[in-house]
Structures are given as structure tokens and as C-alpha cells.
Chains A and B, each alone.
Chain A
Amino acid sequence: MAAAPLLVVEDLKTHFFTRRGVTKAVDGVSFTLHAGETLALVGESGSGKSVTCLSLVRLVPEPAGRIVGGRVLLEGEDLLTKSPGEMRRVRGKKIAMVLQDPMTSLNPALTIGTQVSEVVRLHQGLRGGALRERVLSALRRLRISAADTRLGQYPHQFSGGMRQRVSSAIGLSCEPRLLIADEPTTSLDVTIQAQYLELLKEVQAAAGVAIILVTHDFGIVAAIADRVAVMYAGRIVEMGTTLEVFNNPSHPYTRALLRCLPDVGLGRQQLVEIGGQPPDLSRLPAGCPFAPRCPERQSICEEQSPPTVSVGDGHLAECWATKAVGSQQ
């Protein structure tokens, strides 16, 4: 892609300062994202996916958490150096979020109409009939049926899937450039998941919004993501196009994750797991954080941090064992 990227994250570091020491939840994450593109962040619980997302909008829980380094450039502007007031204007207008639990992402005490129109009014200054039209179209775009009667209803009158769509409608209503979706389908059942993802893709194609999708689920990654970043212990250990990463997983951790997927074709089988536990982020060992669990461990892995190796066009892996391929071409 020739156009300047929408989002550039460079060496982002978010640490939590606790009595037990410093927990490096995000420790040197870099990636870029173009308009209209979907990047999936995958990894185990506690690998830093959600904290990365929160860091992008500067919502890391203070005072324990702090962004200690790096840059987040949205359309060329560094978000990390903005004043709180400037940041408020960026949020909602350029970045929107959809969170995991649709039960708590809507205010139970306000009607859907009120909640959607608030955001639209704030960012677009619409009033009266124009505002109402805008709110209705935002809801219809996410296939909320009978939108005009739904406006006066409260969140408890909606099902989980509908709530997630309403909350996405709120996020997308002011046409953000970037949508951060933190496990948006986790609490939806499988058929609703598929519908929701289809819808998200459709809206994305229409509006050209870039999506960062946090998930555990490789099925979702395959369905919707253009590129994948696999996170482990606060770092991106492998990143590439979805096709590349699935066909040619180049980090032992990615290979292990993919092996964990049960195969429908094989009938009854033992579920595969990755042995051991993710490391304690406040006491990371020297060298590669995955080394203690890695089947391809070498002695150097426990001494020095692995290099970033290019294994294809835009396909990077951070591992001693991986051979660089075609980095010259």
C-alpha cells in the first residue's frame, strides 16, 4: 500500500507499577495499520492485547499503569503527547471502541435513542429532525429492525447480539477512522457471532474504517482479519498477513497455538495444549520469554532476546530458530 498508514505504533511500552515490582504488560509493541484494514491481535490471556488497545486511547488504569515509552501516531499526530482536552476531541471522533460485554457497555438507565444521539450530537452538532434521522440510519446500518420504535427502549429490552450491534452503532455513528474491538464476539453465541462479523465487514467496506480486533479465536481471525499479530508476554512475536501466518507460522508459539485448534475432521481426539504457564510479567527471564515452554529451545534463547526476522513480505517473527527468508528481495 502506497498511502501513508492511518496508525503507526512504535515501540509502545505500558508498564504497571505495583508493590511487587514493575509488570511490563506491553513491552515494545510496534505495528502499522492502513485505512480499511483489519488487524487481529491474538494471544493468551495476559499477553497484553487489551492493554495495547487501552494504551492507544490512553485509558490505561492509573495510577498503577503508565505508558512509559513509544509513539502512537494517528494520521501523523502523536496521541501520547496530546493534552487531555485534545485527547478528548480525538476519542469518539477518530477512534471508537467496542468492548467484550454487551451487557455492561450500554447504560441501563438511559434509552437506546438517548445513548446513540448523545454521541452524534457531541461530534456532529446535529439537532432535532436531522439528529433523529442520523441516529436511525446509524441503527439501521447495523440492522436494528424497527429502529424508530427501538429508540425509546432500554438496554434490558434487547438481546445480547442486538446490544452488541447497538453498541457498535454508537461507536460507528460518528464515522471514526479506527475501531478498536476488544473481543466483541466473546459473549455472543456462534451463529450471532458470524452474523455480527459479516456485518462488521460490510460496514468496514462501506466506511473504510480500520479495525483492530482482539480475539482468542483463530476462526474469527481467518474470517475477518487482513493481518494477524500474535502477542506473547507483552510483545508481538509474529506478524504477517493472515494467509501467511496460517500457511507458514514462523514462531514456535504461533505453531503451538495453531496446533491447539481441534480439528473437526478427525473425530474424537485429545485436545492439545501448550505446556507450562505464561511468564510472570513482573519477573521476565532473560532472553526469549517463550523459551521455558518452547519445544525448539536452544541455549541462546535463555541468554539473549531474539532478533526480529523477516520471513516474507511484511511477515516478521521474533525468534532465534526462525531462518530469515527473502529479506533482500
Chain B
Amino acid sequence: MPAPSRELPWFPGAILAALVLTAVFAPYLAPQSPTEGDITQKLIPPVWMERGEGRHPLGTDRFGRDVLSRVIYGSRISLVVSLLAIGLSGTFGTALGLISGYRGGFTDSLLMRFTDIGLSLPTILIAVVLVAVSEPSFRNVVLVISLLLWPRFARQIRGETLGIKEQDFVALAVVAGRSSTWIISRHIFPNVVPTLLVISTLQVGYVILLEGTLSFLGVGVPPPNPAWGLMIADGRGFLATAWWITLFPGVAMLLTVLAVNLMGDWLRDHLDPKLRQLGSRAETEPAAIEPVPEARPRGAAAGADGG
């Protein structure tokens, strides 16, 4: 494998930059309201087709809402849900992983059993049950995704901590009279930051897909919010006649997840080559030894297309 480039990869970088800018400036970019449509303008195809109208470049849905505007506003939901869910679960999982790894012994066993339970939950099922029980709302989506995500952080960070705490500088900090809290936060935490960054980035794609799936199943962000998953679900009934309702949010989701995963891979290669097994490229890694003719598509990306 050639040495990975040190420069920021332009393709995922550009997509992510565009995504963030779109989300921030959504009100200025969107030509129409994302939630209010004119029922008389329903199911208008994209502008380049027959019957297409310049007012609705990507057409309208069955309530006459502008698809382009909805896709633009949808980026906000995906981004905010990812940031909140990853912030929340990352903080909790990292704290738990650090404590578990540093303390060891009984504390470690107990916390890791919780983590194992967390990891063995059937994701979608639990998400559906939880959100169904507790009213679909933006807040609940974030909480549910966080609940499913924190064990990934906890386990990886614990593993890192186990290695770091055996290093001499930790022993010397103890000899210097430092408390455990101080050692964990000042000496161990800075050393897991690269790992944390890599896991967080690689989880963004997963969170966006999960949010999309939940919204698609009707247990995510409640309508009429312009969540991409919700739009895909809305358009499902019109696939044969009004495919644009489904296609454009699907493409947006696909590009976002692809860009985030590429970025995560790149970050991982640069920050910590030890973490190769963590990311989306892991599945193709053995090919370096034993070339396999057809490359296996990523399970997650395939899921996006299916939605």
C-alpha cells in the first residue's frame, strides 16, 4: 500500500465543507419553505423534465413542498443529530473507558459487562422500541442513538488506556504524588485524543444512517421536519411515478456518509495507524495478502442505497 497522502483529501473535504456551509446558511440557500407547500403544486418533476418548473429545481413532493429546500434543510438535522449524539455518547463512553481501563479489577469487569450488554443490543429493534414507547421527537432520537453508540467508545478507549497506563510516565506521575483523577485527565486522556477523533469521525456516517433509518421507519424525527430518512419514506409510495422525492435525499445521504467515512479513514491513517481494524477499510484489508477479485461493498453504504 502506498504511503497515504499527507494532504487533506479534496473529495471528502469538499463534500463535507459544502455540507456544513449548506447547513449553516440553509435559510439563504433554500428557495422555498421546507415545511410548507402549495398542494396545487404537488408532484412537479425536476426542472429539466417535461412539466418541470424553474421555481422547483428538484421538483415537489406530494404536498407540493420543494424537494431542494427540504434536502438543504435536511442537512441541518443530520448534522445536528450527529454532533449531539456523538458528543454525548463520546463523552460518556470515553469517561467510562478511561475509568475502566485505569482502575482495572472489579470496576473494569463491571463496566465492561455493561458495555458488552450495550454492544449486544440489536440496534434497530431497540431504537424502534424505545422511540415508539417515548413519542418520536428530536431529543429522543439523539438520546436513543447515544445509548446505542457509547459502548463503542468505551471499549476502544479502555483498550488504549490499558496500554498507556503501563508506560513509565504514568508510574512516574504516581511517584510524583499525583491522584488517579489527575493522571487520568492529564496524562492518559491527551494520549487517547487521536483515537477518540478517529472513532468519532467514523461514527458520523453510522449515526446519519441510523437517524435516516429511524426516520424512515417513522420513529425518528417527527414530520413535517425535513429529515432525509423521512423524505425517503414519504416518497416510497411514488417511486414509479415521482422518483425524485426519494432519489435526492438518498443521494445527499450517500454522499455525506461516503465523505465522512473517507475522511475518517484518512484521519485514522494519519493519527494512528494502529487503528486500522477500526474503520470502513477493515474489510478490504486482508486483500493486501490475498487478492480477492471483487471488492466487497461496505455494508453500511449498501444500506443507504436500500433506504
A-side interface residues toward B, CB under 8 Å? 57, 59, 63, 88-93, 95-97, 99-101, 104-110, 118-119, 122-123, 167, 170-171
Contact = CB atoms under 8 A, between A and B. Distances in A.
A107 B190 contact: yes
A93 B169 CA distance: 17
B175 A92 contact: yes
Nearest to A103: B168
Give the interface size class of chain B. Answer: 10 to 19
Nearest to A105: B168
Contacts of A63: 105
A255 to B, nearest CB: 34
B49 interface: no
B186 A170 contact: no
Contacts of B186: 110, 118
B167 A104 contact: yes
A63 B106 CA distance: 11
Nearest to B190: A109
A93 B172 contact: no
B175 to A, nearest CB: 5
B168 A88 contact: no
B129 interface: no
B191 A59 contact: no
B1 interface: no
B177 interface: yes
B126 interface: no
12 contacts: A91-B175, A91-B176, A97-B171, A99-B171, A101-B168, A105-B168, A105-B169, A110-B186, A118-B176, A118-B186, A122-B176, A167-B172
B187 interface: yes
A88 B177 contact: yes
Q: Is the interface of B mostly helix, strand, loop or mixed?
A: helix
B109 to A, nearest CB: 13
Contacts, number: 60
B193 A109 contact: yes
B106 to A, nearest CB: 10
A52 to B, nearest CB: 15
A91 B169 contact: no
B191 to A, nearest CB: 5
B176 A96 contact: yes
Contacts of B105: 63
A131 B19 CA distance: 47
A119 B193 contact: no
A122 B178 contact: yes
B174 interface: yes
Given A63-B105, A167-B172, A92 B177 contact: yes
B179 interface: yes
B96 to A, nearest CB: 21
A178 to B, nearest CB: 11
Contacts of B171: 59, 97, 99
A97 B190 contact: no
Contacts of B193: 109
Nearest to A101: B168
Contacts of B178: 88, 92, 122
B169 A104 contact: yes
Nearest to A88: B177
Contacts of A57: 175
Given A59-B171, A104-B168, A104-B169, A109 B176 contact: no
Given A107-B187, A107-B190, A109-B193, A92 B169 contact: no
Nearest to B167: A104
Interface string B159-190: 00000000111011011111100000011001
A106 B169 contact: yes
B184 to A, nearest CB: 13
Contacts of A171: 172
B175 A97 contact: yes
